[in-house]
């Protein structure tokens, strides 16, 4: 079983953005792409990163204790498009076509969108992540 040190050593993709508070002061928000819902905030970039890393460590501890799956960084996943041939039952194909017509997108984009939203929904259940 993988331990806290293993997960803490992984190279998660970090994003940092600036926000404006109610009093017009600026602050920073740090997030990990793969660990949706975790945030660190601070008046400096360094403070936001430190806050995020503390939240990450606590989140890992809880999920390891609960024996939950923990997402790995995207950098460890080969990032190449894949061609996939699928046979859909008539009713499912009709639902995809209805969706693509409603959204005004191609069938390929409709299938990608539906798979993506289903994966996000499943990940939120499985890993306890926020979908907002």
Each residue's pLDDT, cut to its tens digit, for the chain (132 residues) gives 689 999 999 999 999 999 998 999 999 999 999 998 999 999 999 999 999 999 999 999 999 999 998 998 875 556 677 888 889 999 999 999 999 999 999 999 999 999 988 887 887 777 665 544
The arrangement of strands across the sheet holding 14-20 comes to 14-20, 26-32, 39-42
Residue 86: predicted pLDDT = 87
Residue 84: predicted pLDDT = 84
| Cα–Cα distance, 49 to 33 (Å, whole number) | 14
Note whether 11 and 75 are within 8 A (CB): yes
Instruction: Quote the pTM value.
Output: 0.56
């Amino acid at each position: 079983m993988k331990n806290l040190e293993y997960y803490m050593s992984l190279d998660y993709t970090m994003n940092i953005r600036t926000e404006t508070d109610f009093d017009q002061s600026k602050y920073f928000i740090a997030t990990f792409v793969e660990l949706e819902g975790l945030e660190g905030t601070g008046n400096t970039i360094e403070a936001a990163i430190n806050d995020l890393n503390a939240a990450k460590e606590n989140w890992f501890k809880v999920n390891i204790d609960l024996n939950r799956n923990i997402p790995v960084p995207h950098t460890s996943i080969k990032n190449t498009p894949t061609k996939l041939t699928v046979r859909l039952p008539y009713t499912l194909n009709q639902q995809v076509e209805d969706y693509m017509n409603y959204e005004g997108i191609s069938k390929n984009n409709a299938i990608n969108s539906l798979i993506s939203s289903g994966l996000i929904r499943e990940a939120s259940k499985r890993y306890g992540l926020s979908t907002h």
